[in-house]
Amino acid sequence: MKSKINELITVFLIQLVLTLPFYTANVYGLTISNVRVTKVSSNSATIEWSTDEISDGKVRYGQTTALGFTQRHDNFINNHTITVFNGINSDTAYFFAVESTDLNGNTSIDNRANSFYTFKTTDITPPPQVNGLSAVSTTSNSIFLSWNNVNIVDFNHYVIYRNRVPVANSVTNSFNDTSLQSNTHFNYKVSAVDNSGNEGPQSDTLIASTSAKPLLLR
pLDDT at 1: 55
Cβ-proximal residues to 156 (8 Å cutoff; 6+ apart), any chain: 171, 193, 194, 195, 197
Residue 14 binned pLDDT confidence (cut-offs 50, 70, 90): very low
Start-to-end C-alpha separation, the chain? 137
Mean pLDDT of the chain: 90
Please give the share of the chain, as a percent, with pLDDT higher than 90. Answer: 84
pLDDT at 218: 57
Question: Rounded to whole angstroms, what are the CA distances from 145 to 157, 161, 174, 200?
Answer: 15, 11, 5, 19
The answer, yes or no, to whether residue 129 has pLDDT greater than 80, is: yes
CA distance 102 to 29: 9
The string of pLDDT tens digits covering residues 167-186 is: 999 999 999 999 999 999 99
Element (H, E) at 2: helix 2-28
- Whose CA is closest to 30, among 102, 110, 117? 102
